[in-house]
Structure 1
């Protein structure tokens, strides 16, 4: 009899949810593998995705805005990318634009980079100077909005188009007086050049200079959001668990990306994580709302900024851009 009961229980287990095939999710990063992507790999390595019944494949990206495009074409189900690109696309293709479900960068990574010895301490100090800017980049496109918010006359600035991989060198060689950069990338580039980004340079964040906008987070396709909400909830739970572990100990994150790419400098990636945590993730708002959440009034203002830049007629509602419905309880996201 015991054998019959054991056999029956075994059959029930094998036919239940645990035996079902995991749902496959194709996840795209915003750029090449860096420490700031460590939570996604940590969630995979520690089995957090698998525990949620998810088989997540993570691919490197081609830019924050490209994440949105990749998801809208159906090539990917979810990804890490720029909320502002969602806004831009939702204004013209609302039924196809992804939904942000977990905000990671509370502050934007866009910065003015200047030498610490220069007179540039804010946007208005750029008047009459040469500023290096990567053409087509979000940091360049948003510069006009920063100028408007801070009172800088754009006509007084000479914009020099430069390739992203030589921005720091151009500044060091005094070919430009300042550069428009993604600070989490530029910080490591400066270290790679043998200089001290904390002492030799000054990062002037767009957020602290009047452009109060959000940036990168986890977004999902409309299809995944509509057809598999339980999978979205599981994805967010797994990522949040890994995010909070990396925040508590950035060395864990650096080790996670090192496990994926052995050629990565683990020490430098830990420094990148430290920088990102200090400048992009920790803020009074995050302290209050927890990691992953947004202030919907602030998001509405962000939408207004993007509308002003791109000139679309109808601004999407904030509730169509971000939803808090999948966020774990606040005590699981509290800094």
Structure 2
């Protein structure tokens, strides 16, 4: 009798044990409670690089209340690059991050059990280029046989470059590769120590502009032009967070998507938000950088038609195959090891055209 009575009380308790968030969200929706009646979920967001115009949307979302709208208190933090961002998210010090998708693929191949998951692409185009100056331009892969090419040791563009040469039937021994420190890369190009460099366009271009080079004097040869059509910076999540708190992941994906949609419509406000975090930034340069990122890498025809974050699985699988060769990753690495479905924001949150 006691057990039956206890079970009944337990079931009754469970029936009325609605989550505090659910009650408060429902009350807020009906106007019965103010939005500040409960604390938002705190989450650190690791950025793909230092704080600058390229990730200004992350800070606009603080200023215009986008994170708050989804009951989030997000702290974006700069990093040394996508490699660090991926490691942070994998370790769990940051539940979310922005990172280059190819860097994530490389990490997943080496750390299959610990790798973050990609939940939404942001850049629809991979930003790696062979950058040269128009006084001595590299306009084709064949031109590389005649120049000194500055290349890094760990960046994604440099890592997969040999695989792209092989894909185009060019012997790597025919290319004069000069290993450079990324911090010295642009100055070596300017001083003629190398004739071209492998770089991400929105980083190198504006470094050169700050050193007096005009945009019209820069020549760009994109990896897409010789066989690597892949995405770039994306939203990634710690696998434990993905498993334990899917609601948080869905809200974060919506907020990040909205942050880019709003930044596209309010570019000056986005730059003003990032300048509040680093007053030494050059407003004109960072606005030009943000414009480049949005117009070149985010607002592609695919995104204009299908919304931010949309991608084609076959295209992604083709890119992963190139990356597996470039990074010497296991053949078993598959699309499903990188991408996770079910967290793409609704269409109204992704309409950025």
* TM-score, scaled to structure 1: 0.90
Match of 2:314 in 1: 297
The alpha carbon displacement at 1:145 in A equals: 2.1
The alpha carbon displacement at 1:32 in A equals: 0.7
Q: 1:313 aligns with which of 319, 326, 330?
A: 330
Alignment CA distance shift 1:13-1:188 (3 Å): closer
| Residues 127, 152 of structure 1: 8 Å contact kept | no
The alpha carbon displacement at 1:324 in A equals: 4.3
The alpha carbon displacement at 1:238 in A equals: 1.2
The alpha carbon displacement at 1:104 in A equals: 0.9
User: For residues 318 and 113 of structure 1, what CA distance do their matches in structure 2 show?
Assistant: 30
The alpha carbon displacement at 1:119 in A equals: 4.5
Q: 1:218 aligns with which of 228, 235, 247?
A: 235
Alignment CA distance shift 1:85-1:246 (3 Å): same
**Tell me, which stretches of 5 or more residues in structure 1 are unaligned?**
1-11
Q: RMSD of aligned C-alpha atoms?
A: 2.1
Match of 1:144 in 2: 162
Match of 1:4 in 2: none
Residues 91-130 of structure 1, C-alpha deviation per residue, up to 9 Å, x if partnerless?
Answer: 3433321111121111112110111122420222101321
Match of 1:328 in 2: 345
* TM-score, scaled to structure 2: 0.85
1:248-327 correspondence to structure 2 within 5 Å: 248-327=265-344
Match of 2:44 in 1: 26
Does residue 99 of structure 2 align to residue 91 of structure 1? no
Match of 1:35 in 2: 53
| Residues 137, 219 of structure 2: 8 Å contact kept | no
Tell me whether 47-56 or 306-315 shows the greater mean CA deviation: 306-315
Tell me the SS of whatever aligns to 2:183: helix
1:26-105 correspondence to structure 2 within 5 Å: 26-105=44-123
Q: 2:145 aligns with which of 120, 127, 131?
A: 127
Match of 2:14 in 1: none
The alpha carbon displacement at 1:61 in A equals: 0.7
Tell me the SS of whatever aligns to 1:202: strand
Residues 258-310 of structure 1, C-alpha deviation per residue, up to 9 Å, x if partnerless?
Answer: 12212211111110011112322222322333111221111111211111123
Match of 1:153 in 2: 171
* Count of residues in Structure 1 that have an aligned counterpart in Structure 2: 323
The alpha carbon displacement at 1:330 in A equals: 2.5
User: For residues 278 and 92 of structure 2, what CA distance do their matches in structure 1 show?
Assistant: 27
Match of 1:16 in 2: 24
User: For residues 234 and 60 of structure 2, what CA distance do their matches in structure 1 show?
Assistant: 16
- Which protein shows a greater Rg? 2
Does residue 224 of structure 2 align to residue 172 of structure 1? no
| Residues 304, 315 of structure 1: 8 Å contact kept | no
Match of 2:130 in 1: 112
